Amino acid sequence: MLAVAMASTLHGHHLIGNTRSGDPAADTFQAANPATGEALAPPFREATEAEIDRALTLAEDAFLPYRQLPAEARAQFLEAIADRVEGLGDELLERAHAETALPLARLTGERARATGQARGFAALVREGHWTDARIDRAQPDRTPLPKPDVRSLMVPLGPVVVFGASNFPFAISVIGADTVGALGAGCPVVVKAHPAHPGTCELLARAVLAAAADCDLPEGVFSMVHGRGTGVGGALVQHPLTRAVAFTGSLAGGRALYDLAARRPRPIPVYAEMGSVNPVFLLPGALAERAAGIAAGYIQSVTLGVGQFCTNPALVFGLKSEPMKTFLDQAAAAAAEVAPASMLHAGIHRAYVDGVRSRLDADGLQSAGQSAKPAAETASEGACQLFHADADAVRQRPELFFEELFGPSSTVVTCTEPAEFEEFARRLDGSLTATVHGTEADLETHAGLIRILETKVGRLIFNGFPTGIDVCDAMHHGGPYPATTHPFFTSIGTRGIYRFVRPLCYQGWPDARLPPELQDGNPGKLKRMEN
């Protein structure tokens, strides 16, 4: 009944500028309810090369007039998007629930996060300090050569392609941080809808276009196309009018897009947030004080959202001891209480089941705990699975430990001496996060470990857990490769706007012809770096 009711409001077409588009000869696909396997109407069409070209041509045509709008106009657009999304009401939540199996309560919270992001970027754009205005005034009397007047600020790149993520259908998708960050910077956006929740994407895209109409913005400032295979995504990245790409997903997917962009006649940046094992180090003082409490929080973090977070703590290190045994026993008991639940889509579920099976068959890894209730594979359910190994197993089969398994699974490694903490920290690839549970005395004793971790991750957590990211100005959600393709940039938080801008310098220009942010009178009252 739910699918039939919602199908009446969806058309399954691409939204290119102000028009619907759908080639009747194009291949089609449908979303499926992960919990039931039911196909969800309507069918969605694969975008053609002509449709992709139309979307990016409109975006290019919209770029100059859109970037020239005052900051207030772009801020109002982002606020209008938030208003329009909230106006979708239960229809949006119900469709997203049907397509992802995420609970309605989770989706309600995520919608608030997404609209809050949009309003947060609106405030950032309106304030204007993010433009990083810098002024070095002329010194005509300087010797041996006069100094020219030099001023610079950040300006938008141009049309941006955003790929929606599967695990956050609102907050990292059509209206996610990449989209609102790019729009706030002055870049038109073409979204590649995620094929696992295309109906949700259509509803959100229609809200964005309604907001653009509310604000009387040029056609092409936003478009969205569908595609199930890799062809549509590849064509978007390789289109000559695309200036930057934002992606959240698997290492394989992100690296493929990055390589395509690098092979273009004119390469462009791909800001991909990809895989991460998010290591956790349990230092002796913390284990002695609160091993059971750490275990409870750990299992909650591992299984949050059926483990489908890029910040899932997938690898834990601790020293062999009675407190460590207590931690393992308590973690196993907590894992047994976790009921399996449907994962986002059948593909993610298959990959998780295959990954768990391969680890269970591997030498050196043993099961340390699992959900007591068996998973229903017909409902794409993922069960919690903990593994345990010693330090030698990590040395012999590092690929089992340092590669992400997306889902409610984690591996605990028991070390025999503190030096092994530093050994394995050095072996880690780049990660989004690392977590340390310890006392202040532990931090002093293990200062070398902390210094190593600072070179490996984008966010260091003390006595907490990496899941549950706070969306704020100071947040950095990134890290060295393979966590991301560029460790400077964040995919969450307002600093993400810098993915979509570049510095532009003006030398010797008349004051009246400079952008307002650089004029002597400083009409926006910005904080500027001067002289």
The catalytic residues are 273, 310
403-420: string of b/e by CB count within 10 Å (b at 16+)?
A: ebbbbbbbbbbbbeeeeb
Phi, psi of 152 (to 5 degrees): -150, 160
CA–CA gap between residue 422 and residue 458 (Å, rounded):
18
Pairing of strands 19-21, 222-225: unpaired
Dihedral Cα 233, 239, 242, 246, nearest 10 deg:
20
What is the 3-state secondary structure of 390-430? EHHHHHHCCHHHHCCCCCCEEEEEEECCCHHHHHHHHHCCC
CA–CA gap between residue 365 and residue 397 (Å, rounded):
10
Dihedral Cα 152, 157, 163, 164, nearest 10 deg:
50
* Cα angle 163, 168, 173; round to 5: 30
Q: Distances from the Cα of 151 to the Cαs of 5, 38, 145, 507, 515, in angstroms?
A: 57, 59, 18, 6, 10
CA–CA gap between residue 415 and residue 392 (Å, rounded):
9
CA–CA gap between residue 73 and residue 75 (Å, rounded):
5
- 225 sits in the region (left: phi over 0; alpha: psi -120 to 50; else beta) called beta
Given a contact cutoff of 8 angstroms between Cβ atoms, the answer to whether 447 and 283 are in contact is no
Tokens for 304, please give them: 């949050």
At 212, which helix (H) or strand (E)?
A: helix 198-214
CA–CA gap between residue 299 and residue 307 (Å, rounded):
10
Q: Distances from the Cα of 224 to the Cαs of 55, 197, 354, 493, in angstroms?
A: 8, 13, 33, 23
- Please list the alpha-helical segments (H only) found in 433-508: 440-445, 447-454
